[in-house]
Structure 1
């Protein structure tokens, strides 16, 4: 699977895609949906997703849950992808990644570009009221991300 397509494969992202989708949802101020995708990815062994859950619970002073996810980070084995590090294309456009990293280096809260935030805020949600907080990737998401990268 290539680049942004990893965010949506037959309507479900791969674990790395789910981790990035969770981060985008977190930055778009949808913490419940972010946690869902991080749990999905952590359940498949993604250590970064488990660490995001640790940080998310820690910020909210949910120390028992944070401790659980911190323990999971140490329990999950590093993934062997079969490809050398850096062989997979990035999930986000380089300019977006660089902007987020620069904001962090400047001690600013990271914010998404307006066009990307709007896209993330308008992801579809399930019809089931128990899951109405959940944002779902759609088949056009990788294509939309590539289009937005060219703006």
Structure 2
């Protein structure tokens, strides 16, 4: 099992033809319902699932809910590739987040060190990010990563939950 920091992005669609008081009410109620840890444009990032659900219900009742996104909060030590922005974003607070539903992650469990290095060279072009010994790829590349691992006789452990 991997220890990742899962958070929730509650996305608000911009209110159309609403008075400034309506927007102020939304902002105040957002602060009352949830501890906002970060933002990105119209996305409010919440660490607590129950608070995220409460905010989702409130936005829905006001007709401003766009979507809710399960997110992975990456550490500052993460090495992200150019493709990162297809799967995540750099927030207002300069934090890195991946959309959980778009990615899978794995560790290399077993195998000869030289074989691991060779496999990683081949896998690297498909990495979105790497964080210490944890590698993030598009969910569609799970079978490809497993195939490369078999070719180099190494063992991976995947997760997407």
TM-score where L is the length of structure 2 = 0.23
Higher helix share: 1
Q: Which has the larger radius of gyration?
A: 2
Query: TM-score, normalization: structure 1?
Result: 0.24
Q: Report the structure, 1 or 2, having the larger strand content.
A: 2
Bigger relative contact order, structure 1 or 2 (CA pairs below 8 A, ≥6 apart):
1
